[in-house]
A and B are shown apart, each in its own frame.
Chain A
Amino acid sequence: MADGRSFREGVDILNESDDLLDVENHVPDEDIAAVAAEAVRSNGPAVRFSETSGVVTPVSGAFAGPEQATQYREKPWTRLALALGLGTDTPYQRVVERVAGPLAATTEPEETELLAESSDADCYSLGLPPLNPGEPPAFTLGVLAIKDGDETQWLPVRGTVRGTNRLRAVIPTNSAIQPGAAVSLCLGVPAAALTNTILHWLDRTQTGSIRPSTRSDAVSIAKHEGVTVPATSEVLVTGRVADFEVGASSSDIKTAWELAMDTDVVDISVDVVAHRDSPRVPFVPLGTPLTDDIQLVGIVESARLNYRVNNYWGIAPAEWIRLPGEMGLGMCVVASEILYAGFEWQLSNTLFSFSNLFDKILILDEDTSAADLSRPLDDIWVKAHPSQDWVFSEPSAPAATAPKYRTDGTPGSRLFINATWDPRWDEEYIAPRVTYETSYPEEVRQTVSEMWDDLGFDSSNSS
């Protein structure tokens, strides 16, 4: 079994890693989103709000790392890696491979005892924070388990509390949901439950495939009120579909997964609320750049594309693929071997055909590190010839869904930027990259390293 962590265990690991801020003073519900947003804006740690008005302990930033536009030491995928049971130094590609696991192979989850217990809490007394003052309490990152015959389908979900025993949820279109169906809103689920579910729905809605399962051996499951749910869920709000509006659009701020798919709105009549002791639930201050949902979808979509592209031609040319949260998922960055002249066109159009999120792709040489965003942000300008390597398609391509233009779906151009060496170039044309290692012989580097402290470069004179 994969070493998946429960949401609670993931938060504890963040705490042990000194990447969690405990806010122990009471914070009014209406201030939580602003505090969480401010922590994200300042590249701060995850935040746990221990003293709030309700039952739950909201945790923001549990899956979202810091941005890399101003620093490189902290990696945006580290918190997700920890939540998935990996280590703090896990390379990006290892995280991506873990997330893409259900595409590569089906594994069976273990059925265990449910940890949440029924309580007297209702939808309001849970104490879910609103996104803005005066708005209803919100759940921003969860899984909705819906009964589908003998099976249970898991959907990504966000929504609001609409009454003591009523929820309004936004879910992907074309789910198995029916009026009167039993459903359970699962909050504080393991990261793998979220990545598996988002992976499934991203792949399903953009390629039509239903192959990647939302279940895997990384998430133990349990039966609850006839519905299969993640066994370690912190909160389970269970009831029946009361009202169901196909294709209804929600005018409020969306989560990142909604950018990739159409959604329905469903009202749920709640019968039972169950939760663990002091339940922790993720909370996303939606509308803030680089929040949990953006990073999660960026990594999951990258994992999906990485798997698809590297299983398309019978070879695996792509070293890595990223949808940086810093670019709001509107641009895909890929490092790849350029197999032959023109392969960059095939690669780009393959990526465009697998994902509708973006309409811009930056292609880098295969030896470029995934861990350093500054390299793409240099190469895009210095390596790609502005009149030859910025390649625009005819203006008849489908509109991408992450950008803020052509939101009515009007077709337009796509762009790929080829910042790789032309495979037709002679070797002598290729400019070697300047690095500390290539600029200085080993003995010079060794001398500098050994003498550094003696040279007086210590914290007292570091400016």
Chain B
Amino acid sequence: MSADESDATDSFRGYLERLEKRGACNRIDHQISWNLETGAVTMRANERDSAIPVFEDVSDESEARLVGDPYRGSRQQPWGRVATGLGLSDDLTTDGFYEEIIDRLRSPVAPTVVEDDAAPCKQVVHSGEDVDLLSFPWPFLHVGDGGRYSNLHTLIADDRDTEWTDWSSHRTMFHDNTRASVLLLAGEQTPNIYYYKYERHDEPMPVALAIGAEPAVECVSMMWIPTGRNEADFAGGLKRAPVELVPCETNDLLVPATAEIVLEGRILPNSRLDEGPYGDYFGYMHGPRRSMPVLEIDAITHRDQPYIPFTVEWSEVGYAHNTTSSMEVACVGPDATLGLRAAGFDVEKLAPWPFTPRTVYVISTDTTRPSYLHELANFIFTTWGMLHVDFFVFVDSDVDPFDQCTVLEAMALYADPDEDFHQFGTETMPKVPLNIYQTPEEKGDVQMGTSKAKTAKTYIDATRPEGVEHINRSESENRRERAREILDDAGLSAEIFEKPSVSREGEN
């Protein structure tokens, strides 16, 4: 890795250039329409683990460009592209990547504020009558979607009552030249600020959508940064340098200066527009169509020929990855691991389930006594964003939670239906309506993005029963190494031994 590549990139287009140098992105000059075609190409590229598609020409009416699932990693290394963006080595193990991210998050770096002329996102400014959302080629991603979306961006909002600025990610569906609906699900930080502070005071919430921000910004928008702490500081920690911010044109918010596009506006109180349906992250097109808060756009600033990154949801269900699932591994995994350790839990690692994001997590832990697991699971379930998640699976610390075979085996062979499945049937917990197991009546009219009916938040203790040894053969590392050499000499590619993650200490 060259010296400059060991630094985090300062911009999204810098990140694309880095991918290009590595032959990992594919600039497509053919005109590919934003209307389903870019989504179809991206989904295919995701399934085939092909290069990241950069669509240079998507419309006769716009110079903006689209980038399909720019942070999608491979099945073996889902965090690989995020590592590239942050200047980390490709040679890291998953454990090494986790510890590096955790280390960086422990050392936040405050942002700096730059003048407009030093902010590329101000190269073109539209405000007032000039605002025209539909002049941009927002992608239409699945046939059944309710509209065209921006779904890979950072939503920036100030807390109404404190100095805290929250950065988060909430998909946004465009309705006309100035209006969009934003998926705000109560229980998450920004939605709580909106529903329980601004809207209760009948005030609009000033917001900005930073689209195509630098990788570190994108990462922290996906993380569970504690309430009251500014994501901007942690983005600085991730890149080991300050993030440059610039003031908005029409409100007091600060936005990442190198973002490709910034939408400035207000989320209006007591005003709703339809949002969805949408081909969602769990693999189904679910209903009913929801009413979600209205975003009124006041200004649009952007770079010349801006890039609009997007993710094709659903394509992460199954064996393929997309940006959502890769960032779950790269961002949520280490961040949540750090958060649990900081809260005093003896957690080795938290890993998202690879076949369906945001619904189940696997946690390896040294301490396995029942009261501890109860406390751990329910501590997590109370945190923001947990209205999506219904399940935790606990495994022993010598089980790699990314090793699917071992996790499945542990669930089947160690988790006793008699005593290791907890809180199933206890229908007392909240749930977002982004699910397919509740009926439309149970979901209700979801005015604040939570279902009318409750659900169960559960956990499975798949740690070994007392006195039971590790299931698998116990082989010394020397013996395994000799075995690999024999196979290698016989012509078996050495790459086959490069399993995605972590050492398996339990087998040594």
Chain A interface residues toward B at CB < 8 A: 21-25, 27, 31, 34-35, 37-39, 42-45, 47, 67, 69-72, 253, 285-290, 324, 326-331, 358-360, 372, 374-375, 377-378, 381-390, 392-393, 395, 402-406, 412-415, 425, 428-429, 431-436, 438-441, 444-445, 447-448, 451-452, 454-457, 460-463
Q: B344 to chain A: which residues have CB within 8 Å?
A: none
Q: What separation, in Å, do the CA atoms of A403 and B287 have in the docked complex? A: 39
Binds A, one of B105-113, B185-193, B433-441: B433-441
Residues A432 and B144 in contact, CB atoms below 8 Å apart: yes
Known: A34-B479, A455-B41. 14 other contacts (CB 8 A): A21-B490, A25-B490, A31-B479, A38-B487, A44-B496, A71-B319, A287-B473, A289-B472, A374-B319, A383-B436, A415-B417, A438-B144, A457-B48, A463-B23
The verdict on B229 contacting chain A, using a C-beta distance below 8 Å, is: no
CB distance from A460 to the nearest CB of B (A): 7
B355 touches which of A286, A378, A390 (Cβ 8 Å):
A378
Residues A386 and B391 in contact, CB atoms below 8 Å apart: yes
| Residue on B nearest A406 in the bound complex, by CB | B416
Of the listed residues B39, B317, B472, the one surrounded by the most CB atoms of chain A closer than 10 A to its CB is: B317
B464 touches which of A31, A404, A439 (Cβ 8 Å):
A404
The verdict on B128 contacting chain A, using a C-beta distance below 8 Å, is: no
Residues A433 and B284 in contact, CB atoms below 8 Å apart: yes
Residues of chain B from 405 to 460 with CB closer than 8 A to chain A in the complex: 405-406, 408-409, 411-414, 416-421, 424-427, 435-440, 455-458
Q: What separation, in Å, do the CA atoms of A461 and B49 have in the docked complex? A: 10
Binds A, one of B24-32, B213-221, B290-298: B24-32
Q: A460 to chain B: which residues have CB within 8 Å?
A: 23
Residues B356 and A378 in contact, CB atoms below 8 Å apart: yes
Q: What separation, in Å, do the CA atoms of A327 and B411 have in the docked complex? A: 8
The list of the 5 closest CB pairs from A to B, nearest first, reads: A330-B412, A387-B456, A69-B404, A412-B418, A327-B412
7 residue pairs of the A-B complex, CB under 8 angstroms, read: A25-B486, A374-B319, A378-B282, A378-B318, A390-B424, A402-B412, A444-B36
Q: B314 to chain A: which residues have CB within 8 Å?
A: 434-435, 439
CB distance from A422 to the nearest CB of B (A): 9
A43 touches which of B37, B43, B496 (Cβ 8 Å):
B496
Residues A382 and B412 in contact, CB atoms below 8 Å apart: no
Q: What separation, in Å, do the CA atoms of A457 and B458 have in the docked complex? A: 43
The verdict on B343 contacting chain A, using a C-beta distance below 8 Å, is: no
CB distance from B230 to the nearest CB of A (A): 33
Q: What separation, in Å, do the CA atoms of A384 and B458 have in the docked complex? A: 12
The verdict on B468 contacting chain A, using a C-beta distance below 8 Å, is: yes
Residues B465 and A70 in contact, CB atoms below 8 Å apart: no
The verdict on B124 contacting chain A, using a C-beta distance below 8 Å, is: no
Given contacts A72-B319, A360-B417, A387-B426, contact A42 B26 (CB under 8 A): no
CB distance from B210 to the nearest CB of A (A): 27
CB distance from B19 to the nearest CB of A (A): 8
| Residue on B nearest A372 in the bound complex, by CB | B318
Q: What separation, in Å, do the CA atoms of A372 and B355 have in the docked complex? A: 11
B418 touches which of A44, A395, A454, A462 (Cβ 8 Å):
A395
A326 touches which of B404, B435, B491 (Cβ 8 Å):
B404
Given contacts A38-B483, A386-B458, contact A402 B48 (CB under 8 A): no
Residues A431 and B285 in contact, CB atoms below 8 Å apart: yes
CB distance from A445 to the nearest CB of B (A): 7
The verdict on B360 contacting chain A, using a C-beta distance below 8 Å, is: yes
Residues A457 and B50 in contact, CB atoms below 8 Å apart: yes
Residues B417 and A463 in contact, CB atoms below 8 Å apart: no
Q: What separation, in Å, do the CA atoms of A5 and B23 have in the docked complex? A: 47
Residues B47 and A436 in contact, CB atoms below 8 Å apart: yes
Residues of chain B from 252 to 299 with CB closer than 8 A to chain A in the complex: 279-280, 282-287
CB distance from A436 to the nearest CB of B (A): 6
The verdict on B341 contacting chain A, using a C-beta distance below 8 Å, is: no
Q: What separation, in Å, do the CA atoms of A406 and B417 have in the docked complex? A: 11
Given contacts A289-B472, A383-B436, A461-B23, contact A25 B284 (CB under 8 A): no
Q: What separation, in Å, do the CA atoms of A360 and B319 have in the docked complex? A: 24
Residues A463 and B49 in contact, CB atoms below 8 Å apart: yes
The verdict on B482 contacting chain A, using a C-beta distance below 8 Å, is: yes
Given contacts A25-B489, A382-B436, A413-B417, contact A461 B424 (CB under 8 A): no
A454 touches which of B30, B457, B496 (Cβ 8 Å):
B30
What is the interface of chain A mostly: helix, strand, loop, or mixed?
A: loop
Q: What separation, in Å, do the CA atoms of A404 and B437 have in the docked complex? A: 32
Interface size on B, residues (CB 8 A): 101
Q: Mark B474-505, 1 if CB is under 8 A from A, else 0.
A: 01000110111011011110001101100000
Of the listed residues B36, B143, B405, B499, the one surrounded by the most CB atoms of chain A closer than 10 A to its CB is: B405
Q: A372 to chain B: which residues have CB within 8 Å?
A: 318
Residues B142 and A434 in contact, CB atoms below 8 Å apart: yes
The verdict on B114 contacting chain A, using a C-beta distance below 8 Å, is: no
The verdict on B93 contacting chain A, using a C-beta distance below 8 Å, is: no
The verdict on B167 contacting chain A, using a C-beta distance below 8 Å, is: no
Q: B44 to chain A: which residues have CB within 8 Å?
A: 436, 448, 452, 457
The verdict on B131 contacting chain A, using a C-beta distance below 8 Å, is: no
Q: What separation, in Å, do the CA atoms of A412 and B415 have in the docked complex? A: 12
Q: B475 to chain A: which residues have CB within 8 Å?
A: 34, 37
Q: What separation, in Å, do the CA atoms of A441 and B140 have in the docked complex? A: 13
CB distance from A383 to the nearest CB of B (A): 6
Q: What separation, in Å, do the CA atoms of A24 and B489 have in the docked complex? A: 9
Residues B497 and A392 in contact, CB atoms below 8 Å apart: no
Q: A35 to chain B: which residues have CB within 8 Å?
A: 483, 486-487
Q: What separation, in Å, do the CA atoms of A436 and B313 have in the docked complex? A: 11
A405 touches which of B360, B426, B465 (Cβ 8 Å):
B465
Residues A31 and B413 in contact, CB atoms below 8 Å apart: no
Q: Mark B34-55, 1 if CB is under 8 A from A, else 0.
A: 0011011101110111111100
The verdict on B307 contacting chain A, using a C-beta distance below 8 Å, is: no
The verdict on B390 contacting chain A, using a C-beta distance below 8 Å, is: yes
Q: What separation, in Å, do the CA atoms of A434 and B283 have in the docked complex? A: 5
Residues A439 and B437 in contact, CB atoms below 8 Å apart: no
Q: What separation, in Å, do the CA atoms of A428 and B289 have in the docked complex? A: 12
Q: B43 to chain A: which residues have CB within 8 Å?
A: 436, 439-440
The verdict on B353 contacting chain A, using a C-beta distance below 8 Å, is: yes
The verdict on B74 contacting chain A, using a C-beta distance below 8 Å, is: yes
Residues B471 and A448 in contact, CB atoms below 8 Å apart: no
The verdict on B359 contacting chain A, using a C-beta distance below 8 Å, is: yes
Q: What separation, in Å, do the CA atoms of A448 and B32 have in the docked complex? A: 9
Q: What separation, in Å, do the CA atoms of A47 and B130 have in the docked complex? A: 69
Residues B437 and A457 in contact, CB atoms below 8 Å apart: no
CB distance from A104 to the nearest CB of B (A): 29
Residues B472 and A288 in contact, CB atoms below 8 Å apart: yes
Q: What separation, in Å, do the CA atoms of A440 and B141 have in the docked complex? A: 9
The verdict on B104 contacting chain A, using a C-beta distance below 8 Å, is: no
Residues A403 and B413 in contact, CB atoms below 8 Å apart: yes
CB distance from A413 to the nearest CB of B (A): 4
Residues A434 and B23 in contact, CB atoms below 8 Å apart: no
Residues A387 and B391 in contact, CB atoms below 8 Å apart: no
The verdict on B75 contacting chain A, using a C-beta distance below 8 Å, is: yes
| Residue on B nearest A376 in the bound complex, by CB | B355
